[in-house]
Structure 1
Amino acid sequence: MKMIPSSPHDTNSSAERRFFDRLRAAFEQSKHSDRNAELTAFHSLNLTRHAYKRFGEIDFVILGPQGILVLEVKGGGIGCHDGVWYSTDRSGASHRLKESPFRQAESAMHGLRNRVEAALSRSICAQFVWGYGVVFPDCVWSASGAEWDRAMVADLCGVKNTERWLSGLFRYWHERDGRQREPATAQAVTQVARFLRPELDVGVPLHVTLDELEERVAALTEDQMDLLDIVDANPRVICTGGAGTGKTFLGLELARRWAGAGKQVLLACQSPWLKHWLEKRFAIAGVSVSVAKAAATTARRSGIEQFDALIVDEGQDLLNMDALDRLDRMLKGGLEQGRWCFFHDVNNQAGYFGPPDADALAMLESYSAARMPLKRNCRNTRQILSEVQSALGADMGVRGTGDGPEVLHREVETREDIAKLLATEIERLTGPAGLTPAEITILSPQPLRHSVFDFLPGKLAAKIVELDEFALRDFPPAQISFAEIANFKGLENEAVILVDLHREADVHRSVTDRYVGMSRARSLLITIDGNGASI
């Protein structure tokens, strides 16, 4: 059976984890001939970082042409005395349940059904039979009662043959439905799955601070969900996408899932800035973040010799034989036989660490690696996306996040003029009802002391903080931030002002600076170019 997610979310219930494995193995032998092989199981959300759990009371949702089932799993012993339900844990301690497991499953089914029917057309919803069941994997259930029929219960014996029980549960609810129905169409199943998948798999976007989690969350896009399916089916995957297509976010989601399945995961990158930011802001048990050259040291500090799985972010910076050799030694099975996902950008981001080695990429591809392009931009507004694509010819995906302010271009002759214009734009952006200083980052191809910073009024300069790799642990700061473009790879902010963008002798580096710098802005982008010889 297909599982979403591919490994169980963190849960304190060992019963859920064991039943997850039972469902995953179900119908494997009949997958080419039995309609039950088309079933998909959705495991309830139990993320440590998300704003809400839309169907948090549902342990499992089973979806297929036969219908939709809601399953409640209760581990340990189960009892009911004087109308009050109890569960008993391994130590023998009893815990009072808020309601009957059967009533809990039934109310969850009705809640889910109401949401699906409100979201999808009547012709789609009418194709499905709805039902629910309860799983008691640790006890033998022989009791009878008015709340349940025997077919609705999977006990210790029923769980051992999950296929038979689920097939019987579908038959039971079809008989209760009383109508002759054809199986739901593939289109109907797909529409319900697409409704459930984003809402049942919510993750944290990169720009959300820990204090904002209740206000801003992002669902995985369809492209990203497709990639998770591909990663589940292939031990080695090369994922390509332009800036803003969610590669880092998706890498974090994969790392969390693999670690949740008990793997020791290495998340490797080239930039110390990105490493420090990820390490601080997205600490995940079982996941070690490291720059590639320090992978061996990171493994020793984790008390292991090799990692079970590898995720590479900003991989275009690591497409050389030396870096890949380091990673190969740190991965069980090596790059040829191990489990890994390599995220990279084929555009202009590799100019800071030398051009990528075509032989290195060919070597990765030769290891039976599946290919997956990310096509949807989920960072930049339509205006920023269009500007980067038209000015640089870079493919940053399609659609974007919606409409935003127009991109502003300014051209001046001297650095003094750049500084004056920069001061004017900052004053405008931070005016009444404007942005907070934390939402503004100034990017330059030059270090702070070689940029226009020295030409700014002292009062404004005092409000700007220079970023370094350690300051990224608390990004964004309360002040307006400044960084070199090369160091800001993989990061982003609401508004970005690019300065010092005069022509350089190194044309490729100039294009790289513009691509990386412009794509860091989520909502508002301002470029201040110098076209005079005096700059």
Structure 2
Amino acid sequence: MIPPQVAADAPRGERQLFSKLRDDPMTRDWLVLHSFDIRRHVVRAEGEADMLIIAPGLGVLCIEVKGCNVVREGGLWKYSYDPPKTTTVGPFRQASQAAHSIRQYLSHKDPSLGSILFHSAVLFTEIDFADKSLEWEPWQIIGRTDFFRQPISTVVTRALEAAHSQCRARRPIPTWYGNQSRPTARQLESMLRLLRPDFEYIASTRNNVELAEEAIRRFTEEQFDALDHLEDNRRVIFKGPAGTGKTFLAIEAARRAVLDGRSVALLCFNGLLGAWLRRETAAIRDEAEERSIPFFTGNLSGLMRQVAGADVPATADSRFWEIELPERAVETLLDDSRETPTFDLLLVDEAQDLLSDPFLDVMELLLSGGLASGRWAMFGDFERQAIYADNRANTGLERLQSRTADSISTYRLRINCRNATRIAEAVTITCGLSPGYSRILSTTDSADVEPVFYRSTTHQAEVLLATIAKLLKSFAPAEIVVLSMRSDASSCVSRLDREQDSWQFNSYREMPEGGASVRYASVHAFKGLEAPAIVLTDIEGVDDEQAKALLYVGMSRARVRLHVFMHERLRSGYDAMVDAGLKAALKRNH
């Protein structure tokens, strides 16, 4: 499949065809180019082929995909898109012209390819098209029933073999048709080089950073197949370690639900993550408001305060946030005399931090049908990221399952689409991530992740300023975040002057969107977020599970560059962690 993923906003029919071609074991040696732009079209200035399939031993089939109702009236083709589309060029002619354009181009570039069979077909994913005409052959039609009930390899093979039979039956047989009409594996490689060659341009360090940032969303699109699982299952737990695209999947699930007319609550535990989610979903919220669809994004505490109309006392502690506030929200939600929100779909990001009984009680009442019968998806790292309460992730899953009679589907995410390769490897080895990532998509170059061992508070401050000075040669100040294992007030940054020569330090809470500031935050506060460059400071222990979990969360926030500062006394303990991680990795690989 070239490229290896299909865009999330591609038409549904094209995404369905992409998945069937990719997953059919009989298409393993085929080449498929999708969304292929044609700049040298035989009729128009330019065109596009939805799916170009090159099957060794069979031929080349150009497929036009129509995922809508179709009407032909007075010679005009009418499609029930939004908005509707009317054209004089039917889908069969579109596919045929695209196939001829590509064949003409390839034959000009490599005459040996001129004898290969090129033909076309039209896929109707929503209807069983059955009309007959001299303008197309019956075998050029792929209807809804055949598409969903038969392997795509069978459907494509049948069409190409029918095209071969037609060529052989013509009198006279076309001069180009003969023993060389079926492409070989070598010819497949030749066509790929001519149609979509790989290339590489070396850019400056700054450009590499920008490209890496742009790639994050493209990489995450490869994970969107997981959301098809959500369409078929009402209650899904998406499990995956840091960097596997869980948050972006949650946002995409919210977008799709609103487009389908469903009300949505996208929740998390962390306040900073909730604020970021609100900014990221602004366009979805506008769409929901325009269509009068209830939509909420943010942390659960904010929604509970909104429901209960509760003020936060000056002495608010963990008991208020985790017990008293949920109880007040539940009381309000149970009060029939008050108008309270309910949602068709509940999405929970960083779910491992929200599975206590008081929080689950609130979610039970917010969701139409409740947790046992309603539609929801939980996205979480249930292995290493539960840092807010001991054992919350493990016991929380048990609580959730007990409320749903185990009517839950689980989908595992293992492809890292956030971190540069060396960062992902450092996280895996240092933190003993097991099982590790199945694949790391980013090819962004990054320096090795080696900790700096500081001797004192003063030494760490000096090293921090020197490190930031180096990072500023490649990164903008707003792209750099300094994280601490401590609170803001006791962190390394708190001992430094806010104002530096050409930039300043600012708390992430004060300036979440950047500016000319290097921002700082605690690992706790920054959980669920990420940044191009992370400097992780104030690491004073790596022995207990809580410290290891914090280290894992902090390190995995970095996308392109990571620096880790540890106290000198941890050197032997860190070496032991790395040795254990390497042994575990070798054992997994064998």
Q: Structure 2 counterpart of 1:415, which letter? A: T
Task: Find out whether 1:384 has 2:423 as its counterpart.
Answer: yes
Aligned pair 1:492/2:530, yes or no?
Answer: yes
Aligned match for 1:413, one of 426, 435, 455: 455
2:446 to 400, 404, 408: 404
User: Which is higher, the Rg of structure 1 or of structure 2?
Assistant: 2
- Corresponding letter in the other structure for 1:465: N
Question: 1:107–1:88: structure 2 CA closer, same or farther, 3 Å change rule?
Answer: closer
2:96 maps to 1:106: yes
Q: What is the aligned residue count?
A: 445
TM-score by length of 2: 0.60
| CA contact 1:442–1:483 (8 Å) conserved in 2 | yes
Instruction: Report matched runs for 1:518-533 at 5 Å.
Output: 518-531=555-568
Which residue matches 1:362?
398
1:175 maps to 162
Distance 1:60 1:262, change over 3 A: farther
Change (3 A) 1:275 1:95: same
The separation in 2 between residues aligned to 1:486 and 1:136, in whole angstroms, is 47
Instruction: Give the unaligned 5+ runs of structure 2.
Output: 18-25, 27-32, 37-45, 107-111, 169-206, 289-294, 310-338, 571-590
**What CA deviation, in whole Å up to 9, does each residue of 1:224-264 have, x standing for no partner?**
35533433332222221111122112222333333333322
Alignment of 1:59-208 (within 5 A): 70-71=63-64, 73=66, 78=72, 99=89, 101-108=91-98, 130-133=119-122, 148-149=135-136, 151=138, 174-178=161-165
Letter paired with 1:423: L
Over aligned residue pairs, what C-alpha RMSD do you find? 5.3
CA distance in 2, matches of 1:163, 1:136: 8
Residue of structure 2 in register with 1:312 after alignment: 348
Q: Distance in 2 between matches of 1:214 and 1:345?
A: 23
Q: Which residue of 1 aligns with 2:255?
A: 256
The answer to whether the 8 Å contact 1:134/1:152 transfers is no
In 1, Cα distance between equivalents of 2:478 and 2:105: 38
Amino acid at match of 2:458: E
- Tell whether the 8 Å contact from 1:242 to 1:345 is kept in structure 2 after alignment: yes
Tell me how far apart the structure 2 counterparts of residues 340 and 306 of structure 1 sit (CA, whole Å). Answer: 13
The match for 2:504 is 463
CA distance in 2, matches of 1:88, 1:280: 35
Deviations, residues 270-317 of structure 1 (Å, cap 9, x unaligned) = 11211111121233244531322444677999x984222222110110
Distance 2:499 2:386 in 1: 37
Distance 1:275 1:383 in 2: 29
Q: Tell me the TM-score normalized by structure 1.
A: 0.66
The 8 Å contact of residues 351 and 509 in structure 1, kept in 2 or not, is answered as yes
CA deviation string 1:171-194 (max 9, x = no partner): 7765333189xxxxxxxxxxxxxx
- CA displacement at 1:514 relative to structure 2: 1.2
Aligned-partner residue type, residue 175 of structure 1:
A
Aligned to 1:258, what secondary structure does the other structure show?
Answer: helix
In the aligned structure 2, how far is the partner of 1:107 from the partner of 1:212?
35
**1:456 is aligned with what amino acid?**
L
Equivalent residue letter for 1:176: A
Residue 482 of structure 1 corresponds to: 520
Counterpart selection for 1:324 from 351, 360, 370: 360
Whether contact under 8 Å (1:133, 1:152) holds in the other structure is: no
Report matched runs for 1:208-219 at 5 Å: 216=215, 218-219=217-218
1:426 and 2:468 aligned: yes
2: distance between equivalents of 1:110 and 1:61? Answer: 12
Q: Which runs of 5+ in 1 are unaligned?
A: 12-16, 24-34, 36-41, 46-54, 117-121, 181-207
In structure 1, how many angstroms separate the alpha carbons of the residues matched to 2:525 and 2:139?
58
The answer as to whether partners of 2:121 and 2:140 remain within 8 angstroms in 1 is: no
For 2:79 and 2:416, locate their aligned partners in 1 and report how far apart those are by CA, in whole Å.
Answer: 49
Report what 1:27 is aligned to: none
- 1:502 aligned residue: 540
The one-letter amino acid paired with 1:438 is A
